[in-house]
Amino acid sequence: MVRFLLGVVTGILIFMLFIYFGGGKIVKMVGEGLTETGKKMEHLEGVIKKERDEVGKDIKKKILKEEKEVPKKGQ
């Protein structure tokens, strides 16, 4: 119980210091950086999905081609 209360008091103290030393400016700067990073990540996700789809199609083509080339045992 004592540890819990000590944690709560410490959290409140850290929050007060954050606000006192201009936390809003820091949050704004971090937010702008995260927005740019998010845009870059969306672009990379699109590229990765496109490549994944192309590779999947190529693999399916190769598998189907190999199945057609396998001769039947009866002939």
Segments making up each domain of the chain, as ranges: 28-68
pLDDT value at residue 74: 58
pLDDT value at residue 20: 85
**Chain segment 1-46, per-residue pLDDT in tens:** 999 999 999 999 999 888 888 888 888 888 888 888 999 999 999 9
Half-sphere exposure of 48 (CA within 13 A, CB side): 6
**pTM: predicted TM-score of the whole model, two decimal places:** 0.48
**Chain segment 35-49, per-residue pLDDT in tens:** 889 999 999 999 999
